[in-house]
Every structure is written in structure tokens, then in C-alpha cells.
Amino acid sequence: MILQVLYLCSAVLFILSIKGLSSPQTAQRGNRLGMAGMTLAILTTMASHFHTRLLGVLAALVCGGGVGFIVARKVKMTALPQLMAAFHSLVGAAAVLVALATLLSPQAFHLGVRGALPRSVLTEIGLGVMIGALTLTGSVIAFLKLQGRAPKCPFKPRQARSINASLGLFCSVLLAMFVGTESTWLLSGLVVAALLVGVTLILPIGGADMPVIVSMLNSYSGWAAAATGFTLQNPLLIITGALVGASGAILSSVMCKNMNRSLVSIILGGAAQENPSTTSSGGGAVSPSAGGAASQRPVKLGSVEDAAFVLSQARSVIIVPGYGMAVAQAQRVLGEMAQQLKQKGIQVRYAIHPVAGRMPGHMNVLLAEADVPYDDVFELDDINADFGATDVAFIIGANDITNPAAHDDPSSPIYGMPVLDVEKAGTVLFVKRSLGTGYAGVDNALFYRENTLMILGDAKKVCEDVIKSLKAV
């Protein structure tokens, strides 16, 4: 009874942790609550199995904790999406291993005798294996795509949907047969088939949809943990797994709405092929001519000195960060530039699009790392109406989320996608390495607006030079 109460307390701490992580102001408290919940869960589990091989458990705890500590200390903020994908793959692998161990030695989990397990237990084992294996390989492919090392997809989106539908049906048949026969071979076949589904689901998906994929894999890992919890009759795993699974699914749905994407299409795989002019990591620059005929239109190219002068004459500035800022590691120097503008009496705010970066909250994390005040950071819905009354919109490394074609051009692939209305500002200063397209592969009409001044160059270097020029103004 005491153990169940302690598990329930851990689950409550996890719920409060997720609530805290929903806002930058309470994120640190949410993190601490999550750490407390996990510590309590680990200690409770160790206490409940004190009579077993505690030394092995402690050794695993030290090894896992040590690796986690080293990774947390060394990982760069730009690599957080890759880190999340890697963590999801570990959850999937754990679900598969626990399910296999349960089938091979059910008496150790007090579930019955091998060869005569209840169908409910076999269903839980099968679902845990299927979801876990899919999450494992899907997360590995997502990691490789975010790193720019994923192999090229050999089939088209329509073919991918057919392949995924066939494999999904095959997995369902294997699951039903396993539940009816308790065959180890059938379960092994289910593992292989689910591993393959993970690859075929994620490989065809374009870079523009990777934020949704990271969120969906988070959801899958939660459902895998919940299935494992039912198998082990562990209420903590059931509650937290369902919590992570549901919150990940809700977040994915919200992100799809903000990207004008179909959640069902993305789940089935192959929602959007990557544009050939971009790399899968988002770091590849393309030449000004890469956008085709559209990029031949006249563009106003400005210097750092021009940007510094325009900024110094403004009364209000809204900064729009994007993945280019993350790649250049420009968040700290950008914060210094903003602080210098504030010292001149200029109002400075930050506008964050829900899918800026490569995972939910990516830009918020980077700005927090640069000690940007929380009160200066606003979400799309809270600040979009203010661009019309703003002197300067300073865009640094963002592209698709500022493209006015989303509401001006019905023929555009991103038409209907909510974007930041930066074109309504008095002057748009657009810092970018080139005039190339973003992940969506769409030429940005903002480049050619009368009030847009393009500042081509590395985001960090541009901000550093702007700071120097501001001192001279």
C-alpha cells in the first residue's frame, strides 16, 4: 500500500512538472519537480525490490546517470532536438526489452506461467513491442535527419503511405496471431516488422515537418511506457506514460495547425518531401539563384552599418529568431545587441513562432540561455497584431515563418499556415546567409518587399558588427 502511495506521489510530481514546463517563467521549477518525481520513483522501485540483485540495479543507475550527466553537460543548445530523438529511442528500446523479458520469464513478474499467459498480458506485451520498436528506429532516423546524415528516401510520399499501410496491417496480423498462440517466433517477427515501420514512417518526411515528428515520437515513447506499465502492473508507468503520450499527441496537433499540415498525413509518413535545395539538417546555404525565377527579382542588399543606423532611429523593435540563429549560436550576442538598443531608450521585444527551430520551445530555450528577460518574449498570437505599429522587425535566421505567401498566395504550399506578419513593420531587416529557400522549399516573398533590407552573412557575425556600429552611432 505504501509503495502505491509513493508511486502516486511521483506521478503527481510529474504532472506538476509538465505544467511548470508549459511556461518559461516556471520552467526551472517544473524541471526540479520532475527530478524530484524521478528520484522518488527510483527510490521506491529499489525499496520494493530490496531483496533482489540490488548491486546490479545500483551499477546500472550509476552508469546511466553518469552518461546522462556527461551528455547534459556537453550537449549544445542547437543539438537539443537530436538529443530528444536519442532519448526517445532509448525509451523504445527499453519497452521492447521489458516486453521480451516478460514473455521469456513471466513468473519473475508474477504474471503466470510461460505457455499459459492470459490474453490480456499477451496483448500488452505485443503492443509494448510494436510501439517500442517503432519508436526505436523512428527516433534513430529522426536523429540522423536532424544531424544531416540520414540516407536519401528511395520512395515517394504516395508510395510511402502505401508501404506504411501494408506494414501496419501486417503488424496487426502478427499481433493477433501472437496473442492467439504465444509464439516467440511471431513476437520476433513483430519486432522486426515494427522496426521497419519506424524507418518507413520517418524517412520520407521532409525537414519542415521534423518539429512535429520529434513531438510525435515523444508521444509514441509515452504510449510504449504505458503499455509496459500495464504489463508490469506498475501504476506509475501507466500514469506517466499516458501523460506523456497524450501531451505529445496534443502538442503535435497544435503544431500541425500552426504549420497548416495534416496530422494524419504526417503520422502515415511522407507528408512532405525535402526540398532538394536544402539539407536535412537545415544548415546548408543555397545561392541566391537557387530559388529559380523568383529570386531574379530586385532585392535591397544592405550593410551592417545600414542596419545599425535603422535600428538606432527606431522607437520599437521586434526581433524574430529562427533556426539560423541557433546554427550560428548567435543568441547571446543578439541579447547583447538588444540590451544596447534598450540603453538607447528603444523598446525591444521578441516574437516566437510555435514551430521556429527544430522542436517545440527551441527558441525559448536558446533565448533563456542568453538571459533574455521572459517579459520580453511573446508568442505569435500575443504579438502578431503589434507589427503594424512597430518601426523595425529584425529577422535573424527565420524564413518560412515570416513568408507573407502564407496568406497572400493561394497557390503556395504554405498557404493558410499562420505566420508572423513582419511585413507590416515600418522596416524589415532580414539577416540570412543567402537568399535561398527555407525547409518548405518556398521562395520568401518578403525578400522583395520595398520595406525589406537584406543583410546577408553569418547571424552571429552580423550581430557583433551591428553592436560595434551602434556604439559609433
Residues with active-site annotation: 400
What residue has cell string 495534416? 262
* Rounded (10°) angle between helices 119-147 and 80-104: 150
Helix, strand, coil shares, percent, the chain, to 5: 65, 5, 25
- The span from the CA of 413 to the CA of 447, in Å, is 18
User: Given its phi and psi angles, is residue 415 left (phi above 0), alpha (psi -120 to 50 degrees) or beta?
Assistant: beta
**DSSP secondary structure of 203-232:** TT--GGGHHHHHHHHHHHHHHHHHHHHHHH
DSSP class of residue 435 equals S
User: Given its phi and psi angles, is residue 152 left (phi above 0), alpha (psi -120 to 50 degrees) or beta?
Assistant: beta
Cβ atoms within 10 Å, residue 173: 13
**Side-chain half-sphere CA neighbours of 140 within 13 A:** 15
Closest CA to 222 of 415, 59, 88, 121: 88
SS3 of 442, please? coil
